[in-house]
Structure 1
Amino acid sequence: MTTNSPIRAHPHSMAELCDEGKRLYASALRTGRIGRAEAEAAPCLMEFALLDPDPDDADWLRPVPPTSVLAQRLRPLEREIQERRALAVELTDVFEPFMAISAQDRPSVHAITVLEGVTRINAAIGIATAECKSEILTVQPGGGRSEAILTEAVKRSQGIIERGITMRTLYQHTARHSQGTIAYAEYMRQGKVEVRTLEELIERLMIFDRTVAFIPARDDRQIALELRHPGLVEYLAKVFEQLWQRAAPLLEEAPYDPPTDGITGVQRSIARLLVEGHVDEAIARRLGMNVRTCRAHIAKIAAALGSGSRAQLGYLIAQSGILDQDRSK
C-alpha cells in the first residue's frame, strides 16, 4: 500500500538542519529547482518551507531564497525580544522609586541573619574578618584545637597581625593541655593578640569591631546567626568583658584552686553541674573535655564522698559543703 503523505525520517529543528537537507537545499539553490522524488530524502525541507511546489510542473520543487526564510524565522524572535525589552522597561519604572528609597543613608542589612551551612557561615565570617578595622573578640569553648584547625587559624591570623588589629580569645582551661594550642598562642604574641582561659565558657562567640557578632543557632553548629543590632552586639561584648576579667592568661600559670576534701576545682565544677541536673555529655561539653575524662572525675567525686549510686551522689554533694567555696567567690 502506498501513501501520498511524506514520511518524517529524521525530525529536528531548523537550527539543526540535517546534512542531507543542507546538501539538497544547496543543490536546489544552485540549479533553481529539485525533483520532488529526490527531495523526499529530506522531508524537513518541505516542513520548514525551504522548498515550494513548482507551479509549472508538479514533479519539481523550487527553493525559497534563504533571505526570505531567515526573515520569516527571525520575525517572531525579534517580536519576542521587543516585548521583553518593553517588560524590562516597565519593571524598571515600577521598582525605581523603591531603589531610590534603599539608596538613602539608612541601614541596609538585617539585624539578624540566619546562616545555614558551614560554607555560608565561614564565608560570612571571612567577610567580617576582611572588613574588620580594629578589634576581634572570640570565645572558643571545647578544649584544645586539632592541628588542622590551628594551621588554618594561623593562616587567617597572619592578615590580622599585619593589619595591627587587636584580638582577644577565650579558651577553656583544658586547652592548657594542648601543645598545639600553646604553640598557636606563642605565635600570636607577635601581634596585638591575647589568649586567656576559663574553666567554663558560654557557647562560641565572635565579635568584630563591636558592630557584628556571630553565634551558633544549633548544637551541631550547622546554623549560625549573624547579629548586627547594636543593642545585641553591645550586650554580647559586655558578656565577653566579664568573662575576660575572670580569665587567666594562657601562657601564664593558671590560678591554683586548692582541693577541698580531696575534690579539685574542676571536680567542684562538675559537681555543681551534676546537682543542677546536667548529664555527662552536657557537662563534658560545658567544661571542654571528653566524656570519658568527665566520667573519670565523677567517679573520683563519688569515691571521695563515699557514694554508691548516681542518685545518692547528688544528695551527698549538696550535703558535703564542697560547693560552698564556689558561692563565696
Structure 2
Amino acid sequence: MLRTRSRPRIVALHETRYAGVGRAMAGHGTEEHPHGADRLCAAGDRVYSRAVRRGRVPRRDAEPVPCLLELALLHPDPDDMDWLVPTPPQEVMTHLLRGVYEEVSASRLRVGAAVAAVERYAGLGGPRRQAPASGEGTAIRVLDGLARIQAAMDEATEACTTEVLTVQPGGIRREHELSEGLHRALALRGRGVRMRDLYTHVARHGQGLLNYLELMGDAVEARTLDEVIDRLILFDRTVAFVPANAERTMALELRHPALVGYLVTVFERLWRLAIPLAAPLPDTGIEGISHRERSIAALLAEGHQDAVIAERLGISVRTCRAHIAKLSETLGAASRTQLGVRIAQAGLDGPPVRLPGREFPTAR
C-alpha cells in the first residue's frame, strides 16, 4: 500500500525537483546556507556525497543542511519516507547547464537591445566632432607599458617651450636613473626651457645627481624636502604625468586644465617649503641630533612603522633603524615607548619651524 500511495507523490516531486536547481543558479538557498547547487556548503557537500555513494541517507542526516532539499539535490524515498535519495549528478548538471544557457541567451538579447538603443540615440545627434589632432590627446590618457610612457614623454618634451617641473621621490638618484631621461633634459636645455626639480634631502648625498646638475648648468634648479609626493612631471603647465600603479609600468597623462592646475599649485607650495640644493640643511638646535633624525622623530611620534618612515624619507629600513637607535641613545631612551616620551619632551614631535628669513624665491 505504501508503494501505491507514494507513486503520485514521486511524480509531483520529479516535476518540481528542478525548480530548486533553477533557483540555485541565482544563488538562492536558506538563510543559513545562501548558495546554489553548483557551490555547496561544506556540510551539504558531505551529506550529498554520502548519498551519491550509498544511494540514500537517513532523513535525520540532512536536517542540519536543509539546503539540499530546497535545491532538490535530495528528495524523499517513496518506499521509505525516513530516507532521502539523491538526484543523480548527471541530471543536476544538465539542469544547471540549461540554466546557464538560458541566462546567456537572455544576456545576448539584452546586449542586442542596448546596442540598438545606442545606435538609435546616436543617430539623433549632429555631426560627430573630429578626433583631436596628434599631440593634443584626451583629458586623461592611460599609458600601459614603459614603451608607451617613454613615447608620450618624448612627445611632450618636443612640444615643451617654456618650463618643466618635476617631483622625484625616493633616495639617492642612481646614475642609470638619471641617464634614462638625460636626452630629454639636454633637448630642453638646448631650447632654453627652464627646469625645476624637487628631491628628498637624501638625494643630496648622491654623486650622480651632483654630476647631472653640473652638466645641466643653470637650466636646472633643484631643491629638497624631508619627503615629497609621488613622481610628477609637468610640461608648460599644460600636461602632467603621474604613476598609475606601484610598479610604475603604467602612467596617466593628464591634460585637463583643472587637474594640471591643481598639480602645479601642489608643486609650487612644496617648492616654497623646500631648501635649495646649494644651501645647507637647517640645524635642529639639539646637540647630537641631525636634521634627518629630527624628521624620523616626528614620524615616529605620528605612530609610523620603520618601513613606512624609510619609504617616506627615501632611505633604507636598515639606515632608518640605525638613526632610531642613535636617537634612543642621544635622548636616553631604553625602549620605544620611552623614546616616544623623550621625543615629545624634546619638542621633536612636529616639523621644524622655519626660521625668519629662510623663504626662498620661486623661479619663474
TM-score in same-fold range (> 0.5): yes
Sort the Cα spacing of 1:131 and 1:283 in 2 relative to 1 into closer, same or farther, 3 A: same
Counterpart of 2:197?
169
Counterpart of 1:149?
177
Sort the Cα spacing of 1:301 and 1:194 in 2 relative to 1 into closer, same or farther, 3 A: same
Quote the offset at 1:99 in angstroms: 6.8
Counterpart of 1:206?
233
Counterpart of 2:168?
140
| 1:326 counterpart SS class | coil
Residue 114 in 1 paired to residue 142 in 2? yes
Query: In the aligned structure 2, how far is the partner of 1:154 from the partner of 1:125?
Result: 12
Structure 1 segments (4+ residues) deviating >4 Å: 97-100
Sort the Cα spacing of 1:98 and 1:160 in 2 relative to 1 into closer, same or farther, 3 A: farther
Residue 267 in 1 paired to residue 293 in 2? yes
Sort the Cα spacing of 1:258 and 1:165 in 2 relative to 1 into closer, same or farther, 3 A: same
5+ residue gaps, structure 1, are 1-93
Query: In the aligned structure 1, how far is the partner of 2:129 from the partner of 2:244?
Result: 32
Query: In the aligned structure 1, how far is the partner of 2:337 from the partner of 2:353?
Result: 23
Counterpart of 1:237?
264
Query: In the aligned structure 2, how far is the partner of 1:217 from the partner of 1:244?
Result: 23
Which structure has the bigger radius of gyration? 1
Quote the offset at 1:259 in angstroms: 4.0
Residue 285 in 1 paired to residue 311 in 2? yes
Residue 298 in 1 paired to residue 324 in 2? yes
Q: Normalising to structure 1: TM-score of the pair?
A: 0.63
Sort the Cα spacing of 1:311 and 1:151 in 2 relative to 1 into closer, same or farther, 3 A: same
Residue 131 in 1 paired to residue 163 in 2? no
Check the 8 A contact 2:298/2:348 in 1, yes or no.
no
Q: Normalising to structure 2: TM-score of the pair?
A: 0.58
Query: In the aligned structure 2, how far is the partner of 1:277 from the partner of 1:118?
Result: 36
Q: How does 1:11-160 map to 2 (within 5 A)?
A: 100-102=128-130, 109-160=137-188
Counterpart of 1:308?
334
Sort the Cα spacing of 1:304 and 1:111 in 2 relative to 1 into closer, same or farther, 3 A: same
Sort the Cα spacing of 1:158 and 1:99 in 2 relative to 1 into closer, same or farther, 3 A: farther
| 2:223 counterpart SS class | strand
Deviation track 1:184-243 (CA, whole Å, cap 9, x = no partner) reads 101111x52212222221111100111111112333222322211111111111111122
5+ residue gaps, structure 2, are 1-121, 356-364
Query: In the aligned structure 2, how far is the partner of 1:262 from the partner of 1:219?
Result: 37
Check the 8 A contact 2:227/2:314 in 1, yes or no.
yes
Sort the Cα spacing of 1:328 and 1:174 in 2 relative to 1 into closer, same or farther, 3 A: closer
Match of 2:352 among 318, 326, 329: 326
| 1:213 counterpart SS class | strand
Q: How does 1:3-14 map to 2 (within 5 A)?
A: none
Query: In the aligned structure 2, how far is the partner of 1:296 from the partner of 1:137?
Result: 34
Percent identical among aligned pairs is: 51
Match of 1:253 among 279, 299, 314: 279
Report which stretch shifted further, 178-187 or 271-280: 271-280
Counterpart of 1:86?
none
Query: In the aligned structure 1, how far is the partner of 2:332 from the partner of 2:147?
Result: 50
Sort the Cα spacing of 1:295 and 1:196 in 2 relative to 1 into closer, same or farther, 3 A: same
Match of 2:207 among 179, 190, 201: 179
Report which stretch shifted further, 113-122 or 237-246: 113-122
Residue identity matched to 1:299: A
Report which stretch shifted further, 232-241 or 210-219: 210-219
Query: In the aligned structure 1, how far is the partner of 2:165 from the partner of 2:232?
Result: 8
Quote the offset at 1:312 in angstroms: 3.5
Query: In the aligned structure 2, how far is the partner of 1:169 from the partner of 1:241?
Result: 11
Query: In the aligned structure 2, how far is the partner of 1:248 from the partner of 1:171?
Result: 10
Query: In the aligned structure 2, how far is the partner of 1:325 from the partner of 1:108?
Result: 42
Check the 8 A contact 1:102/1:108 in 2, yes or no.
no
Tell me the matched-pair count: 233
Quote the offset at 1:177 in angstroms: 1.1
Query: In the aligned structure 1, how far is the partner of 2:195 from the partner of 2:256?
Result: 22
Counterpart of 1:217?
244
Quote the offset at 1:310 in angstroms: 2.6
Check the 8 A contact 1:174/1:288 in 2, yes or no.
yes
Residue identity matched to 2:222: V
Quote the offset at 1:98 in angstroms: 7.5
